[in-house]
Amino acid sequence: MSKTKEKEGAFEFEAGLKKLEELVASMESGDLPLQDLVAKYEEGCKLVKACENRLKQAERKIEILREANGEAKTEPFDPGEAT
């Protein structure tokens, strides 16, 4: 496996989310020049995409596990039911 693929496979959702929060805080501080803001925005967009991809992978894995347990039906998640 190439180093790039290893790095992509090792992406951790929690670490990506934390980095996004840090980027937003630094961007909201008002202390950055426009060029730095644009660079941070671009980095944030890449992190959002990586986080979304990681979530999709987790959802698919859950679907596969449910299918393996004879629960072939998938249901939409209702966050109100989790509380």
Q: Where are the domains of the chain?
A: 9-69
The tokens of 68 are what? 């393996």
The tokens of 55 are what? 């979530």
CATH code reported for the domain at 9-69:
1.10.287
For each successive 10 residues of the chain (83 residues), what is the average pLDDT? 48 92 94 94 96 90 81 62 51
0.85 exceeded by pTM: no
Residues 54 and 24: their CA atoms lie apart, in Å, by 20
The tokens of 66 are what? 């449910």
Apex 82 CA angle, 79 and 83, nearest 5:
105
